Structure 1
Amino acid sequence: MKAMPGRIRIIGGDLRNSRLNVPDLPGLRPTSERVRETLFNWLAPTIAGVRALDLCAGTGALGIEALSRGAAAVQFVEPERAPVQALRDNLARLKAAGGEVAAMDASHFLQGTPQPFGLVFLDPPFALQLWAPLAQRLEQGGWLAEAAQIYVESPQGVSFALPSNWMLHREGHAGEVRYALYRRSQSVPLS
C-alpha cells in the first residue's frame, strides 16, 4: 500500500497514526508502510533507548518511526533544502524529542567527528549508488557501536559490497525493492 503523495503515516509507537508532511520532489522515495512495519517488527526487541542515524534521511520516516517506538535519539542527515525543512517542521509539530537534523550530504557528515550509533538506516537515493562507499565510511570511521544494526534498502538485483563483518540478519522484498537488516560483528570473517 503506497502512502498518499505528500503525506506519510507513522505506523507504531507513541506517534502512531501521526502524519508526516512530505515535499513533492523527484527521486524522493519514502519507505512503504509495509516495509517499515516489517523492519520495526524485526527491531522491536532492540529499539528502546538506541541512538540511531538516519543517513540520507529524505522524508525522515524511518528515523521518526524509530523515535516513536522508543529510540533515545535520531540524527537525521539530508542535503536537500525542502526535505530538511519538512523534516524540521514535522519533528517540531509532533514534539518528537531526540531528533536532530544535519543539513548536509551523507559523505560530508561522515567526515566529521564520529559518534557510535546502535542503529543506522542506509537508504540513499538509488540513482547515486552510494551503498558501498557509505557502508565503508560507517564501518571504518567509528560510526557504528560494537553490535550495531544496519538497515539497507536498495533495488532488487543491484549488487554492491558491504563490510565483511556485517552479517545478514533478515531480508525481504517489496515490489522492486530489497530491504535487509544486518548485524555488525566485531570479528571479521575469514575469506
Structure 2
Amino acid sequence: MTTSPRSPRLSPSARPAGEVRLIGGQWKRSKLAVPDRPGLRPTPDRVRETLFNWLGQDLAGWQVVDAYAGSGALGFEAASRGAARVVLIEHDAMLVHTLLAASQRLGATDRVQVVRADAQAWLRGQPAQAWDLVLLDPPFGLGLDGPALQAARRVIRDDGWIYLESGQPLDETQAAAVGLRLHRHGRAGLVHFHLLTPLAPGVAQEVPR
C-alpha cells in the first residue's frame, strides 16, 4: 500500500473509499484513514484475510516490517494479531503523519514504529536475518521491484516470510533467482499477491519443481 507518481491511474470504482477496517485480532473493526494520495491502494479486505489465513491468525512474538506502508493496513493487521514489533516504512510525509495518528489512537505506540524513509535503503541498513515477516507492496509502476525483494530476502530469518503484492505474477523461476520459494499465490482483480520463504541453503539458484 503505497504511493508513487509512476503508479497507474486508478479507475473511479477502484479509488480508496477514505478508510479501511482491520479485520482480525485486538483491533478488529477499527478504522484506518486512507488519505487521497496518488496511487494509494490499500490491500483489499479479502486479500488481507487470505494472507493471514496463510500465515496463521496468531503472530505473537513476530518481528514485522511493513515496507511501503501507505495506509498501514497490513502492518497494523499484523500488530493486531499479536506481532511483538512492527515497523511501518513510508516516504510520503502526509501518510507518515496519518500512520502516527493511527498508532496513537489505537494505543499501539509500544509495538508499532513509524519511520519516514526509502523502503529499499532502510532494508539494506538492517542486519541479516533479523525479521520474521517483510510485507512488500511497492508501487505497481516499479513492476516486481527486484531490488526490494532482494533486500527483504537478506533480512528475513531462514524460516521467515515475505509477502509481495504486485500488478503481475511472480513465478517460481523469478523467486528462485533471489533465493526464495513461492509458497502461495493468489489474485484479486488486477492485484497478484504472493507468500515467499527462503530456499534451503545451497539451492538458492535452483528452480523449484
Report the counterpart of residue 114 of structure 1 in structure 2. Answer: 127
Alpha-carbon contact 1:165-1:188 (below 8 Å) kept? no
Report the counterpart of residue 149 of structure 2 in structure 1. Answer: 135
CA offsets, 1:67-126, max 9 Å, x none? 001111101110001111111100100112300011011122123242611011011111
CA offsets, 1:107-165, max 9 Å, x none? 2212324261101101111113362111112234xx11121111010113577934443
Alpha-carbon contact 1:47-1:70 (below 8 Å) kept? yes
Alpha-carbon contact 1:10-1:16 (below 8 Å) kept? yes
| TM-score after normalising by structure 2 | 0.82
Alpha-carbon contact 2:160-2:198 (below 8 Å) kept? yes
CA offsets, 1:32-51, max 9 Å, x none? 00100010111116622110
SS of aligned partner of 2:107: coil
Distance in 1 of aligned mates of 2:149 and 2:202: 15
Report the counterpart of residue 5 of structure 2 in structure 1. Answer: none
- Which runs of at least 4 in structure 1 moved beyond 6 Å after TM superposition? none
2:113 to 100, 103, 108: 100
Q: Which runs of 5+ in 2 are unaligned?
A: 1-12
1:93 aligned partner, one-letter code = R
Alpha-carbon contact 2:16-2:36 (below 8 Å) kept? no
1:167 aligned partner, one-letter code = R
CA pair 90-182 structure 1, distance change in 2 beyond 3 A: same
SS of aligned partner of 1:151: strand
CA pair 146-158 structure 1, distance change in 2 beyond 3 A: closer
Q: Quick check: 99-108 or 156-165, which moved more?
A: 156-165
Q: In the alignment, is residue 80 of structure 1 matched against residue 97 of structure 2?
A: no
Q: In the alignment, is residue 30 of structure 1 matched against residue 42 of structure 2?
A: yes
Q: Quick check: 177-186 or 158-167, which moved more?
A: 158-167
Report the counterpart of residue 182 of structure 2 in structure 1. Answer: 168
Q: Quick check: 124-133 or 16-25, which moved more?
A: 124-133
SS of aligned partner of 2:38: coil
Q: Quick check: 44-53 or 19-28, which moved more?
A: 44-53
CA pair 158-72 structure 1, distance change in 2 beyond 3 A: closer
Q: Quick check: 181-190 or 31-40, which moved more?
A: 181-190
| TM-score after normalising by structure 1 | 0.89
Distance in 1 of aligned mates of 2:22 and 2:174: 31
Distance in 1 of aligned mates of 2:53 and 2:143: 27
2:192 to 178, 182, 186: 178
TM alignment of 1:11-26, pairs within 5 A: 11-26=23-38
Q: In the alignment, is residue 40 of structure 1 matched against residue 48 of structure 2?
A: no
Distance in 1 of aligned mates of 2:180 and 2:140: 21
Q: Which runs of 5+ in 1 are unaligned?
A: none
Distance in 1 of aligned mates of 2:15 and 2:63: 27
